[in-house]
Structure 1
């Protein structure tokens, strides 16, 4: 039974690392594509920079997961805030007042959640494992 358990763990670990490598590779390709578009158009917009920042956060999240074996909840929340801000910037002319307020409230709620999570990690640490993040 122990051999089956170890083989299953190795198989899952292989799938996990393959998926993480694929995500990292596709993120690099997407970043290169975005940089190519910027150079082709000879124009850098705030939306381009925010999209590159989202790609960078995804890449950092994969790196952190490979390094530590765990993923802090804050990382996807940071990505969500930037993605919502990017959406607001790109579609600002087409957003009505209520949708704009809803998106702003969503960003505020996510930021408050990040602060609560961060406070919880400082006030109630898990031990030595929290010092790495």
Structure 2
């Protein structure tokens, strides 16, 4: 690896970690603001709990990415499902029937996507030891 590649990769890693720290700080601030809102209105609503759950999922996603360097695509899909559910719960009375159906269908499509991704991970795992090495179910060396 030449000098430019080394510094380029290092620079990108620094930017990546800085953005992860910014996302974490912003999420913690958002959690604090939501907690202050709950304290101010002296009432906890389902929408508040779902929003806190979304923030928790964002923190879990950042922690997972920081630990492994990989972002499981299922985590953002889970966040999207909860966000759609929260949107449906908050605004259902003001929505027309087609909008409710569209949001419900979107949620079902995302849930099916998670199932397909999980099935693919179990049935067609990435090969061990590099992308060109073939792994069969009976090959344990």
Q: CA deviation at 1:39?
A: 1.2
The higher-RCO structure (CA 8 Å, 6+ apart) is 1
User: Which 4+ stretches in 1 moved above 2 angstroms?
Assistant: none
Deviations 1:53-84 (A, max 9, x none): 00000010000000000101100000000000
- Which consecutive residues of structure 1, in runs of 5 or more, have no partner in the other structure? none
State the partner residue of 2:62.
Answer: 62
Q: Which has the higher helix share?
A: 1
Q: Distance in 1 between matches of 2:21 and 2:28?
A: 11
- Which consecutive residues of structure 2, in runs of 5 or more, have no partner in the other structure? 130-141
Q: Within 5 Å, which residues of 2 pair with 1:51-130?
A: 51-127=51-127
Q: Distance in 1 between matches of 2:32 and 2:97?
A: 36
Q: CA deviation at 1:124?
A: 1.3
Considering only aligned residues, what root-mean-square deviation do their CA atoms show, in Å?
A: 1.4
Q: Distance in 2 between matches of 1:128 and 1:92?
A: 47
Rg bigger for which structure? 2
Q: Distance in 1 between matches of 2:7 and 2:22?
A: 22
Q: Distance in 2 between matches of 1:17 and 1:127?
A: 28
